Each structure stands twice: as structure tokens, then as C-alpha cells.
Chain A
Amino acid sequence: MLFLDLFVEGLVQGSIYALIAIGLTLVYGLLRILHVAHAGMFTLGGYLSVWATNASGSFVLSLLAAALAAGVAGILVYRLCYRPILHRPPHVALIASIGLYVGMEELFRLFFGPYGMSHTDPPLSETVGFFSMRLKYAEIAIMAGAVALISALAVVVNKTRLGMAWRATVAEPQMALSCGINNDRIRDLIFFIGSALAALAGAMVALVNNYAEPTMGAVPAYKALAIIVLAGLGDVGGTLLAALALGVIESFGTIYLGKALDRDAIAFAFMIVVLMLRPRGIFGKG
């Protein structure tokens, strides 16, 4: 039953990665930008959800508030940060995004203090038995939430006009621009959705660890980058699968390969191996 335990733990971790990576792949598909500051939305979600739950007592309300706030913040980031420099070479947006992320991390520290924040009465902390394992309701919520949200997103991407516009932009960015498809409205929406999802991921992580801290976004930031490359940039379903796969590989890897490589290295070794075999990613088409 140890194997089942490790597998499920991997799925939980993978679900978190998925929620973050989806937003990144949405933005990349649209603008070809590596939106590192996305991790700042993750942290924002973590802090806001803890603060709001402590203040109001309702976790659900604070989740919605966090998602909304992050969504709006995402739109602001697009308008104030990326839109003005879209015509520049890609490394410009990358560095701007990094600068923004560092600034956000520091603002969290200066505003909320370096000690981090915890729920005074963590919701969803009761546990339930599942074969030989015990899982917190929060962990089940993460997996269920990730699957539900991302499936809904996949439906949006495949069946709606917004989704069609996004897919068109992924496939042929220049054409889409000239057809007037890749316009500000779509971009605002994409940033809103992506940032909201990242905030939800941050809220769930802050819940499971019962700790929101200024640097909590750093590790998910670069893991998510690895995942979207692994999946093949611009593929929603593929990103979910790649994220879950990475979570499971990390789970088994930390136990059985721990002596040779540390956790992050395992993730990237996996990514590099896959890329060498399939340079466009597992599911890549762009």
C-alpha cells in the first residue's frame, strides 16, 4: 500500500502544479511570454485566502475573493507591464517579469512581515480514510478542484469562441493578430483566468501547509515553467497530464532516487530527457 500512498501523494502535488502551469501555458500560447510573475499571483492567493479566512471565518468566500483579486491583478500586469513591450525581443519581457516577481515577493514581505501567516482555524483539516491512507479533505479538494477546473477550461478552449481564438493564436500568432482575433479583450480574459487559477493553487497550498510566506512562489515558478515545456507549449490537457506525471515522478523519485539527486533536479532531469527525445514536448504542436 506504500506504492498507492506515494502515487496519491504525487497526484496531490501534481494537481497543485497543474493549477499553476495552466495559467502559464494560457499566457504563453497567447503572447509567447514566459510570465514568471505568475508565481506572484500564487503567493497573493495564499496570503489573501489566509487573511480573509481569519478575518471572516468563511473559506469559500475568501477563495472567491482571492481568485477575483488575483484575476484583476493579472489584468493590470498585462496592461501595465507586458502590453507596452510586446514588440520587443522576448528576453525583455522575461526580465521585466522577473523584476516584477522579485518586487512582489518583497512587497509581501514588507506588508505582511517575514514570519508568514497561518490559519487560526484551518478549514478542511478533518481527515478521511482511503485504504491504508489518511487524507485531509483539503488534499481531496485540491485533486478534485484541479480536475474539475481544468476540465472546464478544456471545454472552454475546445468549444467556445474564446477558446478558438486562443487556439488560433497558439497555432498562428501573426495571422490571428491580423484577423483581429488576438485583441485586448481576449488577453484580459486569459490573464484573468490564469491568475485566478494560480491564486486558487496558492490558497490550497497555504491551507495544506497552514503557512503562507513571501517566498512560497519561487519553487512553483520554475517547476511550472518546466511543466509547460514538458507538455508542449500551448496544450491545456497535455499540461494537466504532464503536471500530474511530474508530481508522481517526484513522489517516487524523492524516496528512491533521493541519494543521487535532489527533488528539483529530478524534475528537471525528467524534463531534459523528454525534451531530447521529443523537442517539442510530449504533446507539442506549436
Chain B
Amino acid sequence: MKTARIMLFLVAVGALSLMVPAATNADSVKIGMHAPQTGFAAADGNSAILGAQLAVEQANASGGVNGRQIELIVYDDQATPKESVPAATKLASSDRVDAAISGSYSGATRAAADVFQSYKIPYISAYAVHPGITRTGDYVFRSSFVGEVQGRAGAKLIGERLGVKKVSVLTLKNDFGKSLVAGFTEAAPLFGVDIISEYEYSIKDRQFGPVIAKIKDDNPEAIYATGYFFTAGPFVSQLRAAGVDALVIGQEGYDSQKFIEIAGKAANGVIITTSLDRDSDNAETVDFIRRFEAKAGYKVDMVAASGHTAVKALVEAMRKAGSTERDAVRRMLHEVSIEASTGTIAFNTLGEVKKDAQVQIVRDGEWRHHSVISDSVLLAPPDQ
């Protein structure tokens, strides 16, 4: 019994120290953020955090929100709901944030959205694509594309813009890959695209030998391959080495200089749908790219831009509303229209944005402008 008492005492001491929330300035406006700082998605989490931090720095430099400075409180969620729910609960009930954003993947975001909605805290998903996220409730918004919408844009890109008909589809087995492919498959017939074969892979896979062998056998004109830079990079590199010349169409998950570093020469000619146009002469975009690269020390990627945009949207809504009162901010989010590096951000009744899809292509080892897909009917996000 004595041993039991000693141990439980030690642990109780530890537990008490948990009741202490993050040390913050009482007068500041608090924006919470959860993102993967450790684990397999740490690269994306890191970029999203840097993008968000940049937005906070810029906002503070131009007067903060209604005279008060903004503080960004970031917790690690390892891109899993198991960690994102306690992180969200801590931000909401312990740190009492005024608003929050997600710098994480769909699974973690969806679970956290439940928490923020129940606390009625305005919450913006920076780049998680699962459609269910905004359906959680009226306090949940998304400042980037819904997966299906981007998938549809891909179908139009391939069938109409590039005039290609025979396509093999490679699906990453998670929310991201599946929702992209769902949209692609739905819109493919509209543009005369014929999906001749479909394959799946897991986020842990880096070696695609068997799938590539099968695709080579199928001989498509193009491959619609969903994934992130750390899966697409190896995939494209191995694909070209195996002698497959088919066009590769990707999405914003590729959108990072790392993709090009990994795939090397094989990256040239790869085309993606995304939200960031590096060749843009839009003042916002140019400014963001320059500042980010100065702050981070590496080239901008889509995830960083998304984190930046999400914070910008919150700040703008707070300023316009003249307060950080949660319901006022929520209502104002539906009314604002923000110019950001990832496009013009305006939320519909569901909290989704409608914007054009940027198409980028790799040329000479850099992401360059290819075209723009703007079809308001096709790209209309769901509104309920």
C-alpha cells in the first residue's frame, strides 16, 4: 500500500501542474493553432506554422487588432485526431482563444472542428480538404479548396485544357487522396476523360515498383496521381526511370520545392492544380513570397501560403467587426472579402470559399505559371 501511495502522490503533483494554461499576455488577442510539429507530417506542419506566424507579425506591425497585439498559440497534434482533440480542448477551454486555425491534415482537423464548434470559437481550416469539416457547424470555415472541387478542376484540366483522354488514377488512401479522386471521377465524363485503371497506395509507401510496372502495362496518356511531395517525388522519379513517359497531373500536395529536389529532372513537365501562382504579378502574392522566403530561409510552398491566408482572414474579420466577440467575428467572416496570396477569399453560407484554380508546371527545376481554371459552376463548393 505504501508504494501505491508514494506513486500516486508523485503523479498527482505532476497532474496539478497541468491545470496551468500557456503563459500569455492578458491583454492580447489569442489565436490558437494546432499543427503537426512532430511525426510524419512535421514538414507540412512546420510550413503552416511559419506562414501563420508571418501573418501575425505583419498584422501586429500594422496595429494589431483594434489596438491590441495578437498572440499565436501553437500546439503539436502529430496530424492525428487523438492528439488534435486534446490540443483543441486545451486551446478552447484552458487558453480561451478568441479564434483558431488548423494547420493540420483532414483527420485531425475534423475531430478538432467538433471541439471548436461546441465552444463556439471561429475556426478556419487552412488546407485540410475533407468536405465534412465545414459541415461540423456554423463556426467552422475553410480557406482552401474542398477536395472534390480541386478534383473536378483536374478533370477539366486534363480533358479540356490538355486534350488527353486515357488516364490512370493513383489514389492516396486518406481523406486528401480520396476526396480529390471522388471529384475527379465525378467530372471526368463531362470532359471526355476515360479512367482506364485505378490504383491505391498508403501514405507510408515510398517505393512504387509494382504499381509502376502495372501502369506501364496499361499505357495511359496521363496519370492523375494524388499525394504529397514526399510520396509524389519518389513516385515521379521512379516512374520516369522505369521508362513511362505519360503526363503526370498532381495537386497542391506536390506544391513545394522539395518535390522538385526529390524528383530532380523527372519533375520537369509535371503539372498541378493548386492555389499559389509563383509567377503572379498580384501585389499580395509577390509580397507574401518575398517575405516568407526571407523569414523561413527556404522557398515558399502551398501549405505556408494557406496558413498565412487563414490567419489573414481571421484578422480581417476581427478588425472589420471591431471586436473579438466570437459571434460577431463569425458573422463578419461571412461578409469579408480578402485579397491573399492564395486568391480572393470570400466565404459562402457553409464557410467554403470559391476561387479559381491555379495550374502550375515544373520548368527548368522551378514551379511556373501554366494556366488558370476558372469555371464558377464546376468549381462551386458545396453550400450545405
Contact = CB atoms under 8 A, between A and B. Distances in A.
A101 to B, nearest CB: 14
A125 B238 CA distance: 10
Interface string B193-233: 00000011110111101111110110000000000001001
B206 A2 contact: no
B213 A211 contact: no
Contacts of A210: 233-234, 237, 262-264
Interface in A161-213: 205, 208-211, 213
A6 B233 contact: no
B202 A263 contact: yes
A207 B119 CA distance: 48
Q: Looking at chain B's contact residues, is the secondary structure mostly helix, strand, loop, or mixed? A: helix
Given A115-B43, A210-B237, A106 B214 contact: no
Most buried by A among B42, B45, B173, B210: B210
18 contacts: A9-B212, A9-B213, A115-B43, A120-B261, A133-B242, A135-B241, A135-B242, A208-B207, A208-B238, A209-B233, A209-B238, A210-B234, A210-B262, A211-B234, A250-B210, A258-B200, A262-B202, A264-B202
Given A116-B258, A134-B242, A10 B210 contact: yes
A13 B212 CA distance: 14
Interface of B: 38-40, 42-43, 45-46, 173, 199-202, 204-207, 209-214, 216-217, 230, 233-234, 237-238, 241-243, 258, 261-264, 298
Contact of B214 (A2, A122, A208, A213): A2
Ranked 5 nearest A-B pairs via Cβ: A9-B209, A114-B42, A5-B213, A134-B243, A209-B234
A79 interface: no
A88 to B, nearest CB: 20
A80 interface: no
A13 B46 CA distance: 31
Contacts, number: 104
The size class of the interface chain A forms with chain B is 35 or more
A218 interface: yes
B315 to A, nearest CB: 27
A255 interface: yes
Interface of A: 1-2, 5-6, 9-10, 12-13, 106, 109, 114-116, 118, 120, 122, 125, 127, 133-136, 205, 208-211, 213-216, 218-219, 250-252, 254-255, 258, 262-264
Contact of B237 (A12, A209, A254): A209
Contacts of B264: 118, 122, 125, 210
Contacts of A250: 210
A206 to B, nearest CB: 10
A210 B233 CA distance: 8
Given A106-B38, A210-B233, A218-B204, A13 B262 contact: no
Nearest to A206: B206
